[in-house]
Amino acid sequence: MQTYKKEFAEFLVRADALQFGEFTLKSGRSSPYFFNSSKFNNGPLIEELGSYYAAAIEENAPNCNLIYGPAYKGIPLCLTTAIALSARLKQDIGYFFNRKEKKTHGDQGTLVGQFPLARDCVVMVDDVITDGLTKIESVSLIRELCKIEFSGVLVALDRMEKNSQANDAITEFQQKTGVPVWSIITIRETCDYLKNREIDGSVVLDESTFLKIENYLAEHSVRS
| Residue numbers annotated as active site | 103, 105
Short-list 31, 21, 35, CA closest to 209 = 21
DSSP 3-state of 32: strand
Distance CA 104, CA 58 (A): 37
Task: Order across the sheet with 66-69: list the strands.
Answer: 109-113, 94-103, 66-69, 122-126, 150-158, 181-186
85, 67 Cβ separation under 8 angstroms: yes
What is the CB neighbour count within 10 angstroms for residue 2? 13
Beta bridge partners of 202: 199
Helix, strand or coil, per DSSP, at residue 206: coil
